[in-house]
Structures are given as C-alpha cells and as structure tokens.
Amino acid sequence: LTVVSDLRRAIDQQELVLHYQPKADVRTGTVCGAEVLCRWQHPRLGLLGPDRFIPAAEESGLIEPLTQYVLDHSLAQCQQWHAAGWDVPISVNVGAQCLHDLTFPDQVSDLLKRHGRQPDVLTLEITESAIIADPRRATEVLGRLRELGIRLSIDDFGTGYSSIAYLRTMPVHEMKIDRSFTTNMRTDSSSGAITRSLLGLAHNLELEVVAEGVEDEETWTALAALGCDIVQGYCLSKPLPPDEFAAWLRDRM
Ligand code: G
Ligand code: G
Ligand code: NA
Ligand code: MN
C-alpha cells in the first residue's frame, strides 16, 4: 500500500531510471532501436524491477504520469544520442489506461516536439489486453497515434486473451513474438510451430516481426532462416543503463 505514495514521490523526485535493450536487424546485425525498460532506484529497497511497481501504478492511476515520465526522459535521451551522431529509435511500453485516454496522442506529440524528435523515432508497445478492455476507444486512440506518424507494436503477442480478429482492425506496424515462444523454439516443437505460424500470420498482414528473448546464436540463425525481421534478447545484450548502453553501442560501431 505504501508503494503508491512512495511511487508518487519517486516520479516527483526522479527516482525512476530507464534501461535500454538493443534490437538488431536479423540479417545484418545492425542495431535498429532500443526498448526502454523502467526500474525504480528505491532509496531503501534498491533497484526494483517493473513487476514490483507497474501493477500498483496501473491500479492507482499513476501509470499515466509514469508513462509521461518514461516518454519524457527517453525522448531526451534519444535527442542526446542524435546530437552525438547516433540515431537510435526507441520503443516505449504503454499500458491500457493511456490507450483509453483520448488526450494521450496530443500529449505524446507535444513531448516529441519538445525534444525535437520526428514521430517515426518512437514506437509504442501495447498489449492485447489493453485493447480488449475497450476495443473501440483503443482503436480510436491508436488510429490518432498512427496518423501522427508514431509507430505501433503489439507486444507479448499470443500470451493474452488474444483475438486474432483485432489484428484486422488494429492499425499496428509491428508484432513482437513473446519470448515464451522464441526462447525454446529449437527444443520445444510446439514453441517452434507457434513461432513459425506467428511469423507467417504477421507477414501476411504486412507487419514487421520482432522476436523477443533470443538468448543464443542458434536461435538467431533459425529466426533468420524463417525470415524474421528483428531480434531482441540476451544474445545481443541485456537491458543496460544509459552509460553502459552508449559504451556498448560505441564498441559495435
Ligand atoms: O525490464 P523487464 O524485462 O523486467 O520488464 C518486464 C515488463 O515490465 C516489460 O515486459 C513491460 O511490459 C513492463 N515494463 C517495463 N517498463 C515499463 C514502462 O515503462 N511502462 C510500462 N507500462 N510497462 C513497463
Ligand atoms: O516488454 P516485455 O514484458 O516483453 O519486457 C521484456 C522483458 O524480458 C524484460 O524484463 C527483459 O529483462 C526480459 N528479457 C529481455 N531479453 C531476454 C532474454 O533474452 N531472455 C529472457 N529470459 N528475458 C529477457
Ligand atoms: Na515490451
Ligand atoms: Mn514482451
């Protein structure tokens, strides 16, 4: 319970820290973006993962200010990289409440302008459950975000109460195949079959495909053979704080 009042302070005091996990083109290995993952540097409890505070933020209404914070700080970071000669698109996770707020698209647009970034540097990762809570409202908000030129990605695909029918009406650009399928795709035949099927489904709908949870070279190679577009996972790098991410990027260039 104290998490909620603590979290409000954390946002005000800027105790939330952002880590960045790179994504790469499957064929060339070129870095093509980074997912922004929030942590809380708690003064007493140390570094807390999102599972410790995102659910409380969603229940208490603090997810909207938290999302604003994450967008604001990651777009500032993106602008700094740009000034240093690196154009790294960013992907930010967005919960259900933002997708049901008709003012959200304009808020995002204002933040992009404030940081001097073009809309196509930003991908918003959404989950199926966020859509299902209020599909009509979510479709309207997503349509507006897409009109603004922001990219949209459907995260953890296949793990929620998925409805493939939503893929027909959701204006998304990208599908992320959940790591529960990709991590074991070479050893578990049903995970392999699901991965192949999701790739086929996404490509038939002209969506780009990101495979999450790619932990080894063999899985990367197998995904390349299946025509997957982008990989993310420990094989490339774990999520890193900004200074370590910059050093990692410098080493690869
Ligand atoms: O960083 P980690 O791999 O532990 O992230 C676990 C999950 O926490 C992610 O898959 C994502 O759904 C969620 N998460 C991380 N950062 C954010 C954030 O800034 N906003 C929201 N809404 N969820 C996040
Ligand atoms: O947005 P999402 O809930 O998918 O967040 C990704 C989560 O998965 C983060 O918590 C991140 O630390 C974790 N992760 C990223 N890459 C890998 C990986 O290769 N293997 C595993 N097991 N977890 C990963
Ligand atoms: Na995500
Ligand atoms: Mn995921």
Ligand 1 atom 13 nearest Cα: 50
Give residue 93 CA to ligand 3 midpoint distance, Å.
5
Q: Using one digit for the tens of pLDDT, what is the confidence trace for 178-187?
A: 999 999 999 9
**Are 42 and 76 contacting, i.e. CB atoms less than 8 angstroms apart?**
no
**Considering the domain boundaries, does residue 196 fall inside one?**
yes
Cα angle value 233/235/239 (rounded, 5°): 45
pTM of the model: 0.96
Torsion 8-72-137-170 (CA) sign? negative
- Asked whether 234 lines ligand 2 (CB < 6 A), one says yes
Looking at ligand 2, which atom is closest to the CA of residue 156?
4
Look at the chain and count its residues.
253
Given this model, what pLDDT does residue 128 score? 84
Closest listed residue to residue 173, CA positions, set 117, 133, 124, 226: 124
CB-ligand 1 contact for 50 (6 Å cutoff): yes
Query: Which residues of the chain fall short of a pLDDT of 50?
Result: 1
pLDDT of 132: 84
Please indicate, yes or no, if residue 46 is contained in any of the structural domains.
no
Question: Beta 174-177 vs 151-157: how paired, if at all?
Answer: parallel
Strands 230-232 and 151-157: unpaired
The whole-angstrom separation of Cα 28 and Cα 47 is 34
Three-state DSSP state, 150:
coil
CATH number at residue 160: 3.20.20.450
Instruction: Specify the pLDDT at position 2.
Output: 65
Ligand 2 binding pocket includes 15 (Cβ within 6 Å): no
pLDDT digits over 32-81, tens only?
999 999 999 999 999 999 999 999 999 999 999 999 999 999 999 999 99
Q: Residue 212: CB within 6 Å of ligand 2?
A: yes
Distance (Å, rounded) from C-alpha 237 to C-alpha 248? 9
pLDDT at 4: 78
166 lines ligand 2 (CB under 6 A): no
Q: Does 130 reside within a domain? A: yes
**ipTM of the modeled complex:** 0.95
* Contacts of range 243-248, beta carbons closer than 8 Å, 24 or more positions apart: 245/19, 245/20, 245/22, 245/34, 246/81, 246/84, 248/22
Q: Is residue 55 part of a domain?
A: no
User: Residue 213: CB within 6 Å of ligand 1?
Assistant: no
Decide if 166 is inside a domain: yes
Q: How many domains does the structure of the chain reveal?
A: 1
Atom 11 of ligand 2, residue of closest alpha carbon? 239
Tokens for 95, please give them: 């919960």
User: Which residue is closest in CA terms to ligand 1's atom 24?
Assistant: 93
Torsion of CA 111, 112, 116, 117, to 10 degrees: 150
pLDDT of residue 170: 87
Q: Is 13 exposed, middle or buried (0-12, 13-18, 19+ CB in 10 A)?
A: exposed
- Cα–Cα distances (Å) from 164 to 87, 116, 141, 157, 167, in that order, read 34, 36, 19, 10, 5
Residue whose tokens read 């999701």:
198
Please state, in angstroms and rounded to a whole number, the distance separating the CA atoms of residues 45 and 221.
Answer: 40
- The parent domain of residue 173 ranges over 22-36+62-235
- 251 in any annotated domain: no
How many other CB atoms are found less than 10 A from the CB of residue 12? Answer: 10
CA distance 92 to 17: 13
Exposed / middle / buried, residue 196 (Cβ in 10 Å: 0-12, 13-18, 19+): middle
On whether residue 244 sits in a domain, the answer given is: no
Report d(CA 164, CA 149) in Å as an integer.
24
Q: Is the CB of 229 under 6 A from ligand 2?
A: no
For atom 18 of ligand 2, the residue with the nearest CA is: 213
